[in-house]
Structure 1
Amino acid sequence: MQNLKNITVGFLVSFIGSIPLGYLNVVGFQVYEKLGLTPTMLYLLGVIIIEFFVIYFTLIFAKRLAENKKLTKYIEGFSIIFMFLLAYVFYSSANAKSDFSTGFNYAPFVLGIVLSCLNFIQIPFWTGWNLWLLNGNYIEISGSRKYVFVFGTVVGTFCGMLTLILALHYFASNVDFLAKYLMQIIIPLVFLGFGIWQGFKFWKKYF
């Protein structure tokens, strides 16, 4: 029963957390548009392999990571710069009629691994969630149960990202406005907005 609870909690937290638009989802959408479903699933597999280790280690060292304020500050500062960089990259690639996945046409699995390694913001995200779940006794991680929880989270990420990718494809295929402006204007503006919002929170938190 506890294993089922661990899987369910991990799946729900990760599924919901992976639904909001992020650069991993956007690149996954580009892979799907260009190469189809199977390469997209390989890309997502690359993403969740890295996430498995991130979640596992943040689960084990959650309290220690939460106490390391300097590391958290550096990660949050990097994420702000990264959002602005992504806004520029997606805007430039859309106007150049190319996409972010061009250099990885035949290696979507590698692309997923590389981009997931760059997703540093998942460290404070999972540190916070793991601490909350542990302190609230929503999960139990003795013995092999920690692996059951982590398995549930990566399955949730896979399903959540795939759901959003397919939804983006559906709307981009059926809504003319999205088909024309999604990658060229909307996505860059979203990341620009994320960068500004995170920058405001960073300034408010530390200054």
Structure 2
Amino acid sequence: MTTISALFFGFISAVIGIFPPGLINMTAAKVKIKEGKRAAVWFVIGAVLIIIIQVYLAILFAQFIGEHPQVVVLLREIGCGIFTLLTVYFLAIAKTPQKIKGKIKKQRTSTRFFLGMLLSALNFFPIPYYVLVSLSLASFGFFVFEPLSIFIFVLGAVLGSFLVFYTYISFFTKIENKTDFFMKNMNKIIGSITGIIAVVTLFNIINYYWN
């Protein structure tokens, strides 16, 4: 049962984390429009390979945190500060994201493969995201830090990531107009999320020291 839940939650967490319009999925869609589906698929494969490493490292880090509870408090304090700064940045400083304009020069598929790897490697969001997800699932008994469960969870995350990317490169022309709302309000959405996380984290810190 734990194995099945690891696959399911790995898949679902990837879909939730990647589905909102972002640099990687939007670039994949643009590559498909300008260069064709083959180039876009190679771009996605490159991105997914990096995601495999990121998810695995995130789970190992989460396992370390689980075995050293004293580290959690320090990470909460650091995280609270970081999320507070991010909230201020996205709500008060950051400019509204603009659509990608201009043509993408046709490149070899190998070039797109490495571009996918590069953009994915520059995206640090998956590591803290999957640390939080795996710790939360473990606390509810839906995930255990064992080799097989870790492998299955990573597999689920890979499948979910590829599905979302493939959806973007296959149906982008149909959902392009709907992404306008997310693009225009992306800073407010991200700022609100980081703000909520900062408040919850601060509450947990206060509760820890109070008790």
Q: TM-score, normalised by structure 1?
A: 0.71
Residues 1:186 and 1:7: Cα distance change in structure 2 (over 3 Å): closer
In structure 2, distance between residues paired with 1:79 and 1:162 = 31
Letter of the 1:136 partner, please give it. Answer: F
In structure 2, distance between residues paired with 1:117 and 1:73 = 24
Residues 1:16 and 1:188: Cα distance change in structure 2 (over 3 Å): closer
Q: Deviations over 1:59-104 (max 9, x none)?
A: 111153855246636764569869987845x44x52xxx15xx378
Q: Deviations over 1:95-126 (max 9, x none)?
A: xxx15xx3783322112111111212222211
Deviates more, 1:27-36 or 1:163-172: 163-172
Partner in structure 1 of residue 68 of structure 2? none
In structure 2, distance between residues paired with 1:103 and 1:34 = 8
Partner in structure 2 of residue 140 of structure 1? 144
Partner in structure 2 of residue 113 of structure 1? 117
In structure 2, distance between residues paired with 1:168 and 1:131 = 33
In structure 2, distance between residues paired with 1:138 and 1:203 = 25
Partners of 1:86 and 1:191 within 8 A in 2:
no
Letter of the 1:27 partner, please give it. Answer: T
In structure 1, distance between residues paired with 2:21 and 2:86 = 18
1:99-110 matches, within 5 Å, as 102=104, 105-106=107-108, 107-110=111-114
Q: 5+ unaligned residues in a row in structure 2: which ranges?
A: 66-70, 203-211
In structure 2, distance between residues paired with 1:104 and 1:71 = 43
Q: Which residue among 72, 93, 108 is the counterpart of 2:79? A: 72
Deviates more, 1:67-76 or 1:42-51: 67-76
- The percent of aligned pairs where both chains have the same amino acid is 20
Deviates more, 1:17-26 or 1:31-40: 17-26
Q: Please state how far the C-alpha of 1:132 moved relative to its aligned partner.
A: 0.8
Residues 1:110 and 1:190: Cα distance change in structure 2 (over 3 Å): farther
Q: RMSD of aligned C-alpha atoms? A: 3.5
Q: 5+ unaligned residues in a row in structure 1: which ranges?
A: 173-177
In structure 2, distance between residues paired with 1:113 and 1:82 = 26
Partner in structure 2 of residue 175 of structure 1? none
Partner in structure 1 of residue 184 of structure 2? 189
Q: Please state how far the C-alpha of 1:56 moved relative to its aligned partner.
A: 0.9
In structure 1, distance between residues paired with 2:46 and 2:153 = 19
Q: Please state how far the C-alpha of 1:165 moved relative to its aligned partner.
A: 3.7
1:9-88 matches, within 5 Å, as 9-62=9-62, 64=65, 67=73, 68-69=75-76, 72=79, 76=83, 77=85, 87-88=96-97
In structure 2, distance between residues paired with 1:79 and 1:121 = 15
Partners of 1:58 and 1:123 within 8 A in 2:
yes
Q: Work out the number of aligned pairs and report it.
A: 190
